[in-house]
Amino acid sequence: MRSWLAVTIGLATGCGNGPAASPTDAPFTSLDGAPADGQEAPPYVWQLPAGFPIPATPADNPMSAAKAELGRYLFYDTRMSANGTQACASCHQQALAFTDGLAHAVGSTGVVNRHSAMSLVNVAYNSAETWANPVLTTLEQQALVPMFGDNPIELGLAGHESELLAALAADPTYPPLFAAAFPGQNDPISVANIVFAIASFERRIISGASSYDRYAAGDTTAISDAAVRGAGLFHDEVHECDHCHGTFAFTNSITWAGKSEPDLAYINTGLYNVDGAGAYPAGDQGLVEISLAAGDMGKFRAPGLRNIAMTAPYMHDGSIATLDDVIMGHYARGGRLITSGPDAGDGSLSPLKAALITGFTLNGTDLDDLVAFLTSLTDASLLSDPSLADPWPSH
């Protein structure tokens, strides 16, 4: 018996990039492509860093090595856009910790999205995907949005499903990959299986081998003295960084297999205060667009900080260029000050910002120490891991 995968794709679009529709207006896309009855792929053996729990996976998409490998080919394939110009990897480049270095992601038709492309590092542990949509709780749900969403258009595949499947079936690379990933299915090249495979590959993008991890495991020479001091500042009760960026994933919105309840939090950090009452710029106001609760204005999910030195520019809209500016111009002053233009306002005076965003004073080399610590979270092995790299020889 084949089941249906039904996923909302109208509540928010692309990496959380598009304007939100109301829940009652949200369209649904249903995909026929659950795992086949009968034959199963071999159980997946996770290769996890010390202290990392086994990621949660949906019951209808169990992890397998063959599925993840198929997903790697699809992730880097420009045929995953209707006009053949972009792949998933266009916005999620391995060398940049699976981001793209842009303030705002750009879709295959040139449409500029309102958000920056989030890093895919450790997305296996996310309790919700995108910047501010608690409805998209799995990678399978999220993948449909850039593929088929139209506000904005990203990969632009809506209405082009037949062409996509025909192109993949005609490439001699794919039929054996699909057959291995979905054993026992008579016709495994389907949209649903594409989604399952890409999600499986993304769950493999796990980072936990930074120099700071080596230091935490007992190698006192793994990081600089400055980074050691910065770690102390990061974790103390003055700077409050680890309230939102604690845990092994350096984010407070995580889940894993067997966890009784996912942790999911959204926070207004005082990035904007355009009207003196805490408002964020129209068209990009965070969780309030989904919840419709006034108190959720400006609330976004805190991203993980692993490999953060590789993912500039920063914040949900790429509006802060450097880590120095994030620390000094935003968090140290307790909210960002914008002196002119349509977004002018003092975020430190926002009545909606979180109570823990109070500001702090950095003395002497504190700023350099904090940046040194954040830089020590870079996992060089992830950035060059061939098992996560583009498998297509002509790319």
- The DSSP secondary structure of 38-98, one letter per residue, reads S--PPPP-----TTPPPPP--TTS---HHHHHHHHHHHT-GGGSTTSS--HHHHSBGGGTS
337: pLDDT strictly greater than 90:
yes
The mean pLDDT of the chain is 91
Spatial separation of the C-alpha atoms in residues 88 and 201, rounded to whole Å: 11
- What mean pLDDT do residues 359-365 have? 94
- Mean pLDDT computed over 132-160: 96
Percent of the chain with pLDDT over 70: 89
At 269 the pLDDT is: 98
Distance CA 331, CA 357 (A): 7
* Cα distance between residue 160 and residue 81, in whole Å: 9
Tokens of 322: 């450097």
Going from the N-terminus, what domains does the chain have, and what CATH number goes with each?
A: 4-207+382-388 (1.10.760.10), 211-379 (1.10.760.10)
The SS3 call for residue 278 is coil
* Residue pair 353/346 in contact by the 8 Å Cβ criterion: no
The answer to whether 241 touches 359, Cβ cutoff 8 Å, is: no
Span 76-131, pLDDT tens digits: 999 999 999 999 999 999 999 999 999 999 999 999 999 999 999 999 999 999 99
Instruction: Name the residue among 91, 95, 118 with its Cα closest to residue 106.
Output: 91
pLDDT value for 394: 74
What pLDDT shows up at residue 181?
A: 97
The pLDDT of 268-288, averaged and rounded, is: 97
Residue 308: DSSP 8-state: G
Q: Look at residues 277, 272, 320 and name the one whose alpha carbon lies nearest to residue 298.
A: 272
Rg (Cα) of the chain, in Å, rounded? 21
Residues 6+ apart with CB under 8 A from 360: 238, 239, 240, 331, 332, 334
Per-residue pLDDT for 385 more than 80?
yes
Using CA atoms of 169, 171, 177, 180 in order, give the dihedral in degrees to the nearest 10: 50
Q: Which residues contact 18 (CB under 8 A, 6 or more apart)?
A: 12, 113, 114, 149, 151, 152
| Percent of the chain whose pLDDT exceeds 90 | 87
pLDDT at res. 30: 38
pLDDT exceeds cutoff 50 at 214: yes
Q: How many CB atoms lie within 10 A of CB 239?
A: 20
pLDDT at 61 over 50: yes
| CB 264, CB 128: distance < 8 Å | yes
Left if phi > 0, otherwise alpha if psi is -120 to 50, otherwise beta: which for 30? Answer: beta
Convert the pLDDT of each residue in 283-333 to its tens digit. Answer: 999 999 999 999 999 999 999 999 999 999 999 999 999 999 999 999 999
Out of 28-32, 35-39, 157-161, 306-310, pick the least confident: 28-32
Task: Report the distance separating Cα 91 and Cα 101, nearest Å.
Answer: 9
In this prediction, residue 39 carries a pLDDT of 57
- Which tens digits make up the pLDDT trace of 164-201? 999 999 999 999 999 999 999 999 999 999 999 999 99
What DSSP letter does each residue of 119-176 carry, written as one string? P-TTGGGBSS-TTT-TT--SHHHHHHHHHH-BTTBSS--TT-HHHHHHHHHHSTTHHH
- The confidence score (pLDDT) of residue 7 equals 38
Residue 91, judged by CB atoms within 10 A of its CB (0-12, 13-18, 19+), counts as buried
Instruction: Report how far apart, in Å, the C-alpha atoms of 97 and of each of 90, 108, 311 are.
Output: 12, 21, 7
Over 80: is that where the pLDDT of 265 sits? yes
- Inform me whether the pLDDT recorded for 27 exceeds 60: no
Q: Using CA atoms of 195, 197, 203, 205 in order, give the dihedral in degrees to the nearest 10.
A: -110
Confidence of residue 41 (pLDDT cuts 50, 70, 90): low
Whole-angstrom Cα distance, residue 59 to residue 35?
10
**1, 26 in Cβ contact below 8 A?**
no
Give the residue, 394 or 68, on which the prediction is more confident: 68
- Of the CA atoms within 13 Å of residue 147, those in its CB half-sphere come to 27
What phi, psi does 145 have (nearest 5°)? -70, -55
User: How far apart, in whole angstroms, are the C-alpha atoms of residue 178 and residue 47?
Assistant: 23
Range name among 14-23, 60-69, 91-100, 304-313 with the lowest pLDDT average: 14-23
Question: According to the model, what pLDDT value does residue 301 have?
Answer: 98
Token pair for residue 12? 């928010």
For residue 97, what are its two tokens? Answer: 């910790």
pLDDT top residue among 364 and 209: 209
